[in-house]
Amino acid sequence: MSSILFVALPLLFGFATPILSTFGKNGVAYTSMLMQMFLLYLAFDLLSSIDFHVEIISIAPPLGISFVLNKASLFFVTLFTFLTTLFSFYYLSHRKTDAYENETKFFILLNMLLASSIGLVLSSDIFNIYVFFEITGISAYILSAYKKTPSALEAGLKYLLTGAVASVFLVFAIALIYINVGSLNLAVISQSFEALPYNIKVLISILLLIGFGFKVEIFPLNFWVTDVYQGSSALVNALFSGIVVKAYLFVFFHIVYLFLPSGEFSVFLVYLGAVSMLVAEIAGLKQTNLKRLFAYSSLGQIALIFTAFAMQNKEGIQAALFIVLAHSIAKFIIFLALTSIQKEHKNIHIETLKELNSPFLRAIMLIAMLSLLGIPLFVGFVGKFLVLKSFAIEGMFMILAIIVIGSLIESVYYFKLAGYMFIKGKKREVLTIGSTQKVVFVLLAFLLISIGIAPFMVSNFLGDSANILLDAKSYSDMLGGV
């Protein structure tokens, strides 16, 4: 089974749309969904047997292009294909009353986003990482401006400008790496990077941090994120929070683990993530726009994931992967719910929740928020507990305290939201949710609860993924031996 299918099929879909469109708009939409379901089937089929798999596209490493599919990358491939498939199911029901213009273009962009996000986590060549870095960014900023309202166009422009700045720093980093190492293959670079002159090593590290810092939404390079979330549609925001930022996070720390296996800058990255979390949660307290508020919540959660990854040990990475899973699912629920709320109320202000007349949506959103807060019986609790345990074992009590304070601040505005949802406001007709949409919501909520109650279902797999990410030597040997 070829790893290249996860990238090639979504990209080739765009070339097939002229033929598919002859069958009407449903030809493109349903073919897109069937392709995503097929990729999800491939991912689940690989889950029980995958170890290391290298796909050589041209000539052999260190000069060739290669994809690496292991348990760590497969976790993200499965998550991305699963969420994209559910997104398509949701949209096919949502489009009956609020379809996007030019759906063919929309589905092409959706699949480009999926393909490039997967390409980021599979690539073992830093130049190809840059290519997918750009494709993901282009797809995302077009989707952010897709509604073509003034706020959406502003969001798209900010996404474009920040992405351009990030690309400049990444290009300089890649150029310096090639000049000093003579290769763009991650395995070859990992064997030489720590031996580089200290000044060169620090300069490349700073360039990589800034280049990826915009994309992993870390303070102070995340100033643009909340404006993009506010201007974009809530539907697209689900893709941003559930898929895009997770792909960038994975590839950034994959590079860190390969280039700096000794953890030379891990303490700095840990503190950077902790401070970023605290700043985001404090800023979230005063927000009244729901999309903006949940954007700050995402920044806080992403910073927590960043902090856990930065620990550079098995326990921290396993905790980070649990939070990735919990956050992606919960934010998918929330932003899809906001799509229905905004369509019905024509407003996304926090006060709108008082008028929300949908017991189903209130319950589903409450489950997602409780998981994000790390309440027991939800998967978010498992991730936060493991993070706090990891820092306690390492004796990093200052970081532990910052995380606890940030979580308490987050709980203030989440319980405020819960209060609004259960306060009786102006009477309105019941907000109707399509049966397909309900199935998507129930499945996502079920995962938050079932994995929270029985984390052992995925803990061994995530533990193995953490070990693989940390094993830079095996990665280098495996690629070098092809």
Measured CA to CA, the distance from residue 159 to residue 138 in angstroms comes to 9
Question: What pLDDT shows up at residue 481?
Answer: 47
Q: At what angle do helices 435-453 and 456-470 cross, to 10 degrees?
A: 80
Phi and psi at 58, nearest 5°, equal -125, -120
pLDDT over 80 at 55, yes or no = no
pLDDT over 60 at 482, yes or no = no
Contact 56, 399 (CB under 8 A): no
Measured CA to CA, the distance from residue 478 to residue 245 in angstroms comes to 28
Please list the residues that pair with 70 across neighbouring strands. 52
Q: Can you give the length of the chain in residues?
A: 482
Give the count of alpha carbons within 13 A of 377, CB side only: 5
Measured CA to CA, the distance from residue 301 to residue 241 in angstroms comes to 10
Question: What pLDDT shows up at residue 64?
Answer: 56
pLDDT over 60 at 274, yes or no = yes
Contact 122, 73 (CB under 8 A): yes
- Number of other CB atoms surrounding residue 134 within 10 Å: 17
Please list the residues that pair with 53 across neighbouring strands. 69
Q: What is the pLDDT of residues 81-109, one digit of tens each?
A: 999 999 988 988 877 777 677 778 888 88
Buried b (16+ CB within 10 A) or exposed e, 63-80: eebbbbbbbbbbbbbbbb
Question: What pLDDT shows up at residue 424?
Answer: 64
Measured CA to CA, the distance from residue 256 to residue 136 in angstroms comes to 21
Q: What is the pLDDT of residues 416-475, one digit of tens each?
A: 888 888 776 565 667 778 788 889 999 999 999 999 999 888 888 898 888 888 887 777
pLDDT over 70 at 52, yes or no = no
Q: What is the pLDDT of residues 364-422, one digit of tens each?
A: 999 999 999 888 889 988 989 999 998 888 888 999 999 999 989 998 888 888 888 87
Q: What is the pLDDT of residues 207-255, one digit of tens each?
A: 999 999 988 889 888 888 888 888 888 888 998 888 999 999 999 999 9
Question: What pLDDT shows up at residue 332?
Answer: 93
Domain ranges of the chain: 5-480
pLDDT over 80 at 478, yes or no = no
Please state, for a pLDDT cut of 70, what percent of the chain lies above it. 93
Q: Which helix (H) or strand (E) is 474 found in, with range?
A: helix 472-480
Q: What is the pLDDT of residues 101-157, one digit of tens each?
A: 777 888 888 889 999 999 999 888 888 899 899 999 888 888 888 878 888 888 888
Which candidate, 397, 389, 406, places its Cα nearest to that of 455? 389
Measured CA to CA, the distance from residue 208 to residue 49 in angstroms comes to 34
Question: What pLDDT shows up at residue 345?
Answer: 73
- The average confidence (pLDDT) of the chain is 85
Q: What is the pLDDT of residues 63-77, one digit of tens each?
A: 456 788 888 888 999
Name the token pair of 344: 């019905």
Contact 438, 360 (CB under 8 A): yes
